[in-house]
Structure 1
Amino acid sequence: MPRRKVSNTLALAVLGLLQEKSMHPYEMASTLRERGKDTSFKINTGSLYDTVASLVKHGWITEVETVRDGRRPERTVYTTTEDGQSEFVQWVDELIRTPVPEYPKFMAAVSYLGALGPQRAAAALTERAGHLERQIEDARRVLAETVGTGLLPRLFMIEGEYALHALEAEHGWTVRTRDEIRDGSLTWPES
Structure 2
Amino acid sequence: MAKRRKLGNPLALTVMVLLAERSMHPYEIAQTLRRRGKEHSVKINFGSLYTVVQNLEKHGYVEVAGVQRQGNRPERTLYGITEAGRTEMLDWLSDLLAVPVAEYPVFETALSLLPVLPPREVAELLETRAVALANGSAALRGVLGQLGERLPRVFVIETEYQLHMVDAQLEWIRAFRDELTDGTISGIEEWKSFHETGEVPQDWQDLDEQEIVLDPERKGWTQDPE
Q: How does 1:1-191 map to 2 (within 5 A)?
A: 3-69=4-70, 73-147=74-148, 149=149, 151-186=150-185, 187-189=188-190, 190-191=193-194
Q: Is this contact kept in 2: 1:10–1:43, CA < 8 A? A: yes
Look up the match of 2:211. Answer: none
CA-CA distance at 1:65 after TM superposition: 2.6
Residues 81-108 of structure 1: CA deviation (Å, up to 9, x unaligned): 1111111111111111111110111110
How big is the alpha-carbon RMSD for the aligned residues of Structure 1 and Structure 2?
2.0
Question: What is the distance in 1 between the residues matched to 2:71 and 2:179?
Answer: 61
CA-CA distance at 1:188 after TM superposition: 4.8
TM-score computed with the length of structure 1 as normaliser? 0.88
The letter for the 2-side match of 1:25 is P
C-alpha distance 134-19 of structure 1, shift in aligned 2 (>3 A): farther
Q: Is this contact kept in 2: 1:66–1:76, CA < 8 A? A: yes
Q: Is this contact kept in 2: 1:59–1:81, CA < 8 A? A: yes
Alignment partner of 1:78: what SS?
strand
Question: What is the distance in 1 between the residues matched to 2:93 and 2:133?
Answer: 28
The letter for the 1-side match of 2:123 is A
Question: What is the distance in 2 between the residues matched to 1:188 and 1:56?
Answer: 60
Q: Is this contact kept in 2: 1:35–1:142, CA < 8 A? A: no
CA-CA distance at 1:71 after TM superposition: 5.8
Q: Name which structure has the greater RCO, CA cutoff 8 Å, separation 6+.
A: 2
CA-CA distance at 1:152 after TM superposition: 1.6
Which deviates further from its counterpart, 25-34 or 171-180? Answer: 25-34
Aligned residues: 189
Q: Is this contact kept in 1: 2:37–2:147, CA < 8 A? A: no
Report % sequence identity: 46
CA-CA distance at 1:120 after TM superposition: 1.4
The letter for the 2-side match of 1:82 is E
The letter for the 1-side match of 2:59 is H
User: Which stretches in structure 2 are left out of the alignment for 5+ residues?
Assistant: 195-226
C-alpha distance 188-140 of structure 1, shift in aligned 2 (>3 A): farther
Runs (4+) of structure 1 exceeding 6 A deviation are none
CA-CA distance at 1:109 after TM superposition: 0.7
C-alpha distance 27-133 of structure 1, shift in aligned 2 (>3 A): farther
Which deviates further from its counterpart, 86-95 or 22-31? Answer: 22-31
Q: Is this contact kept in 2: 1:117–1:188, CA < 8 A? A: no
The letter for the 1-side match of 2:48 is S
C-alpha distance 71-118 of structure 1, shift in aligned 2 (>3 A): farther
User: Which stretches in structure 1 are left out of the alignment for 5+ residues?
Assistant: none
C-alpha distance 188-44 of structure 1, shift in aligned 2 (>3 A): farther
CA-CA distance at 1:36 after TM superposition: 2.9
CA-CA distance at 1:60 after TM superposition: 1.0
Q: Is this contact kept in 1: 2:140–2:163, CA < 8 A? A: yes
Residues 149-173 of structure 1: CA deviation (Å, up to 9, x unaligned): 1x22211221111111111111111
